A and B are shown apart, each in its own frame.
Chain A
Amino acid sequence: MLRGMAITGYILRRLWQGLVVLVGASVIVFCITSFFADPAKLMLPIAASQTEYEQLKEKLGFYDPAYVRFLRFLGGIVRLDFGKSLWQGVPAMQLVLERLWATTLLSLSAIGIATVIGVPFGTFAALKPRSKLDRFCTVSSLTGVSVADFWLGLMLILLFSVHLRWLPTSGYGAKELLLPALTLAARPLGRIALVTRSAMLDELNRPYVTTARAKGLFEGRVVFYHALKNAALTVVTLCGYEVGRIFAGYAVIIETLFGWPGIGQLAVQSISNDDLPVVQAVVFVAASIVVVLNIVIDLCYAVLDPRIHYT
């Protein structure tokens, strides 16, 4: 009961902190996009006169004091209304939400691939430290972390689309998902394997493992049930963190490369087009996802590790 109350208090406090983060992020976006960009110039035809330009700026509220503009912006955020896209004339938020599922699907597939391969890889490497398998695991993981993901994507296109003609280079669908997901999986895979190896090395050196072995438990149960359960904490954190990283940036390049219609591609398009409302909406949504993910990760701790107390 007490624990439940403590957790509720903890969640509330984390939500409050998350709110502060989101407001801060909105301030940054607002400052950059509103004070330096000039949408009025963009919306008018090139032949428009100076007075027309001034009138439009007046209408858009460009000559209001900064705090009025900022309050208007904040008021919009509360209603999740970032205004209409300058290019498509639809509410910016609607555009972002339409694309959100594609990015979610892509990031979850990538992390899924990375976890399913990375965790066993790291575990087996930790079982025989300094062996050939361990060296192979470490070096290939480091390679996965070091390779530029968009280059890996290009190489996969070269192999699977240009030479073998098995998979399409771009588009949206089940077959089209495979290449971008594999590309995005490389970096998390390397990191998950390295972290699993390191965490398992720590766990396998603990006395409880010796106890479990001394009781005569099967090695498989000792490793995969007892040790891996404790190592899982670190791995879960990392997975959550990596999903956040994909939303916060990695998706941008890969989606552009493969023409995957997610929020990353939308972000690059709207940045190139100076479509400020959409840029603001994308940044806000991406930041919210990272904030929520961080809270969810912390709560996973509570489920996986009953020793943790929330104060």
Chain B
Amino acid sequence: MSDVSSMDRTLPARSAGSSSLLAKSLRGAWRTLKADKFAMAGLLYLLALFCVATFAGHIAPHDPTFQTLGKRLTPGVWVPGGSTTFPLGTDHLGRDMLSRLIYGSRISIIVGLSTVAIAGTIGTLLGLVSGYYGGKLDDLIMRWADIQMAFPGLLLALSVLALFGPSLQNMVLVLALNNWMWYARLTRGVMLSMREVLFVEAARVIGASNARIIFKHCFPNLASPLITLGTLEVARMILSEASLSFLGFGVQPPTPAWGLMLAEGRGYLPIAWWLVTFAGICIGLTVLAINLVASWLRSVTDPHQRYKLLQQTG
């Protein structure tokens, strides 16, 4: 009896302890974020970008596809007495640059997130299976990953898009099928080492099913490296989307997308520098912000990295 009552007493204490552990690590993350000015700036930028993309309809001063042909290539506020109706000028069809930039953020965010979600799901599942079961299946999956890694991915994407027609959905699918290998490799590596760990052995001994072991016991340990990889991949995918759209195989006009705006403005480089400059800055800032946040995430979640930082200061 006394045993049970003592257990009763320790249980709430333990759960309180674990929640305070979570709070403690969150506080730690917040502290490093406050110390890391660049990561903070990156995070704030991304939050702002999300708001802009969500409320684009309310923020944008004009319809992004409305053409005012009489006002083609109007410079913006940087010219003395420049247009205030078009603060960042207009493009070759007289469309408002600012509104197009605002709406363009949607494409980048949608493509970045959905590609990473699809590629991440496929890659992580294959990696889990590959690392946990091993054997022939593992060989097959990993050889396939090797093949795709050596494969000129952009060329494959271009050929597929040329054949099936360039569209947003096709682009997301092609990019996802081109990039699942990174998640598979990472997941498999962690799973291989985890197969032999004591708590997995213990779970197996008490008769837990494979699915339960994989998702309940192993998967949580994968969360932090996967989050870091996924974040970095969002940045890469945004760049890939811009490249594909720039080459004319991605988002099609008149949809406003940053990569496409660069392609459209290219011919007017000598007479209207603002067409390409602002869209490129938007791509660069977004990718940079994501990279900064990713490097902060890694420093928070990866003990090895944390140790290295401590060594540097010490």
Range for the number of chain A residues in contact with chain B: 35 or more
Q: Is the CB of B313 within 8 A of A148?
A: no
Instruction: Give every chain A residue within 8 A of B273 (Cβ-Cβ).
Output: 158
A290 and B150 contact, Cβ closer than 8 Å, known pairs A32-B159, A146-B287, A272-B162:
yes
A267 and B147 contact, Cβ closer than 8 Å, known pairs A130-B312, A287-B152:
no
Which of A16-24, A68-76, A81-89 sits within the interface? Answer: A16-24
Q: Is the CB of B284 within 8 A of A267?
A: no
B147-161 vs A, CB cutoff 8 Å, 1 = contact: the mask equals 100111111101110
Q: Is the CB of A150 within 8 A of B243?
A: yes
Q: Is the CB of A20 within 8 A of B143?
A: yes
Instruction: Give every chain A residue within 8 A of B295 (Cβ-Cβ).
Output: 142
Looking at the complex, which one of A25, A37, A151, A162 makes contact with B284 (CB distance below 8 Å)?
A151
Q: Is the CB of B151 within 8 A of A28?
A: yes
Q: Is the interface of B mostly helix, strand, loop or mixed?
A: helix
A184 close to chain B: CB less than 8 A = no
Chain A residue, CB-CB nearest to B281: A151
Complex Cα–Cα for A283 and B279 (A):
31
A249 close to chain B: CB less than 8 A = yes
Q: Is the CB of B284 within 8 A of A143?
A: yes
Q: Is the CB of A24 within 8 A of B269?
A: no
A139 and B158 contact, Cβ closer than 8 Å, known pairs A146-B235, A248-B151:
no
Chain B residue, CB-CB nearest to A151: B280
Find the residue from B144, B159, B242, B243 having the highest chain A CB count within 10 A.
B159
A247 close to chain B: CB less than 8 A = yes
Q: Is the CB of B155 within 8 A of A283?
A: yes
A42-73 vs B, CB cutoff 8 Å, 1 = contact: the mask equals 00000000000000000000000000000000
Chain B residue, CB-CB nearest to A274: B162
Q: Is the CB of A148 within 8 A of B242?
A: yes
Q: Is the CB of B152 within 8 A of A290?
A: yes
B292 close to chain A: CB less than 8 A = yes
Instruction: Give every chain B residue within 8 A of A248 (Cβ-Cβ).
Output: 151-155
A25 and B151 contact, Cβ closer than 8 Å, known pairs A148-B283, A271-B158:
yes
Chain B residue, CB-CB nearest to A294: B150
Name B142-193 residues within 8 Å CB distance of A: 143-144, 146-147, 150-156, 158-160, 162-164
Instruction: Give every chain A residue within 8 A of B102 (Cβ-Cβ).
Output: none
Q: Is the CB of A155 within 8 A of B280?
A: yes
Q: Is the CB of B159 within 8 A of A271?
A: yes
A178-220 vs B, CB cutoff 8 Å, 1 = contact: the mask equals 0000000000000000000000011001000000000000000
Instruction: Give every chain A residue within 8 A of B276 (Cβ-Cβ).
Output: 151, 154-155, 158
Complex Cα–Cα for A107 and B293 (A):
30
Looking at the complex, which one of A152, A247, A253 makes contact with B152 (CB distance below 8 Å)?
A247
B81 close to chain A: CB less than 8 A = no
A282 close to chain B: CB less than 8 A = yes
A282 and B155 contact, Cβ closer than 8 Å, known pairs A155-B277, A256-B247:
yes
A291 close to chain B: CB less than 8 A = yes
Instruction: Give every chain B residue within 8 A of A272 (Cβ-Cβ).
Output: 162
Complex Cα–Cα for A154 and B275 (A):
11
Complex Cα–Cα for A67 and B146 (A):
24
A92 close to chain B: CB less than 8 A = no
Q: Would you give 12 A-B contacts (Cβ < 8 Å), ordered by A? A: A37-B163, A142-B288, A142-B291, A142-B295, A148-B239, A148-B280, A150-B262, A151-B284, A201-B312, A249-B153, A268-B247, A272-B162
- Kindly list 7 other residue pairs between chains A and B, CB separation below 8 angstroms, not including A158-B277, A248-B153, A249-B155: A22-B150, A32-B156, A146-B287, A146-B291, A154-B266, A274-B162, A282-B152
